[in-house]
Structure 1
Amino acid sequence: MTRTYRRPGQDKRKRNIVIGVAVAALVGGGLAVGTGLSSASTFCDGLDERIRENQQFMAQQRANPNSQTEAILANRQAVIDLINVQKAQGGCGGAQAQAPAAKPTTTAPAAKPTTAAPAAKPTTAAPAAPAAPAAPAGNGQVVCPGSTVTLSGEGGAPAASSGTHPVGTVLRVRNLDNNKSITVTVTSVSGSCVLLNNAAFEEVREPGKFLIRRAVIERVG
């Protein structure tokens, strides 16, 4: 019978090698999980920051209301709703909604009975007049006259979302305050005539502004 003799310490070295490989695998797995969690957290934090920016903008509009405040607030709330959809799809947890308590202050339903006299109607129709001078921006059909334009918060190449025009519609948006324009395709649905995504809005915005008050929107193609 032949016996195999092992040198002292040989088994111990093998055990150390096996343990070292197992520890390396555990550390590598931990780093992969940690990196994934960090990326997800950064994505969700960015969406939360965009919601806070829109809410701050809405608060400023409520503090300084004008004839277009109601439309502006509706547009910004649609932006927040879209970002909350992105949060839900990305597994970011609870949605942040705009507090509705401030809206009654802008609608002021109690004031209508006191201004029910026919003489009050011309004063309410006046805001429609500034929106009428929609200077022709091209050869397209002007749509949604008087609508303000803001951003949807969506990333990617320049595009638009709309609750009036179906996906695939080509729209041209011109900012009359700086005469900049952009032609985009509707790729998603929103609650406004047109919302520009981040890339498209950057092409026509004025520095520091998140709203185009005087815009011409055309359907082209």
Structure 2
Amino acid sequence: MSLKKKLVLSVVTGTLVTGGVAATMATGNAAVPDVVCPGSTVTLSGEAGPPAATSGTFPVGTKLKVTNLDNARSTTVTVNGPSGSCALLNNAAFEKVREPGKNLIRRARIERVGGGSAAPARPGGAAGGAPVGAPAGAPVGTPVQVPPATGAVVCPGSTVTLSGEAGPPAATSGTFPVGTKLKVTNLDNGQATTVTVNGPSGSCALLNNAAFEKVREPGKNLIRRARIERVG
């Protein structure tokens, strides 16, 4: 009579059972990148210093890997302060991923690769100077007289950056739909502009070149103390 030996194998939660003997086996799960802020654009702050980023989504100390999907270049930076974007790169960091002549990355992948939790970076705190909307005479910048808001103040604490895009004055936004009218005031010089949202971005209000010229301070690509109003 022929005897056949039957071998029964089963795998349950990473354990191999063979002939009644249990052995642990590796499941082979690899670390999955923590992709954050899907759909966000990445812009240039115009600030100097070694490669770094500011963020309104992650606290100081968070490490973010930013990849420009249009040229496959990437850089890993540490958040060192607040802004109104998921990831706002300073000059040195942006140079590592930019396409020539562009101050905006529309197809970006942002990954959290270390440090920090998802707690907001609290724009307008110690790193951002006086609270956004502070009255004239606040300790940041030259005291100016800023007229009171006439519309609904939105996105409190947001910074406003330059997209580097051409065309008549306009803005893009990740908060408001196309056609929304926003009034952006630079509280450090009292200058304001009203623009219409004409597309998406990763910021509450991202101004193109023509709009930013109306409110900028010389040499700065970032407005840290901004008031954004929805006026239509």
TM-score by length of 1: 0.50
- After superposition, the C-alpha distances for 1:21-60 in whole angstroms (9 at most, x for unaligned) are xxxxxxxxxxxxxxxxxxxxxxxxxxxxxx9x93874764
Q: Quick check: 2:155–2:204 contact (8 Å CA) kept in 1?
A: yes
More helix by share: 1
2:132 counterpart of 1:131: yes
Alpha-carbon distance in 2 for matches of 1:212, 1:133: 14
Report the counterpart of residue 231 of structure 2 in structure 1: 220
Contact 1:173 1:183 in 2 (8 A): yes
SS at match of 2:188: coil
CA RMSD across the alignment: 4.3
Looking at structure 2, the residues matched to 171 and 220 of structure 1 have their Cα atoms a distance apart, in angstroms, of: 6
The alignment status of 1:195 with 2:206, answered yes or no, reads yes
Relative to structure 1, the CA distance from residue 130 to residue 206 in structure 2 (aligned partners, 3 Å threshold; closer, same or farther) is same
SS in 1 for 2:212: helix
- Partner in structure 2 of residue 71 of structure 1: 83
Q: What does residue range 52-67 of structure 1 map to in structure 2 within 5 Å?
A: 54=44, 57=47, 60=50, 62=52
Larger strand proportion of the pair: 2
> Structure 1 residues 55 and 159, CA, compared in 2 at 3 Å: closer, same or farther?
closer
Tell me the CA shift for residue 154 of structure 1: 1.4
For residue 201 of structure 1, give the secondary structure of its aligned residue in structure 2.
Answer: helix
Pairing 1:109–2:99 present: no
Matched, 1:161 2:175: no
Q: Distance in 2 between matches of 1:126 and 1:175?
A: 14
Q: Helix, strand or coil: the match of 2:83?
A: helix
**Aligned-partner Cα distance in 1 for 2:187–2:105:** 31
Aligned partners of 1:210, 1:204: CA distance in 2, in Å? 10
> How many pairs were matched up?
143
Following superposition, the deviation at residue 130 of structure 1 comes to 1.5
Q: 1:73-94: CA deviations, max 9, x gaps?
A: 63536x9698444xxxxxxxxx
Shift in Å at residue 149 of structure 1?
Answer: 0.2
How far off is 1:192 after superposition?
0.9
What is the one-letter code of the residue matched to 1:195? Answer: L
**Unpaired segments of 5 or more residues in structure 1?**
1-50, 86-94, 113-123
Q: What amino acid is aligned across from residue 54 of structure 1 in structure 2?
A: L
Residue 180 (1) aligns with residue 191 (2): yes
SS in structure 2 opposite 1:187?
coil
Calculate percent identity across the aligned residue pairs.
Answer: 48
Please give the alpha-carbon distance, in whole angstroms, between the structure 1 residues aligned to 2:49 and 2:111.
Answer: 11
Partner Cα separation in structure 2 for residue 205 and residue 185 of structure 1: 18
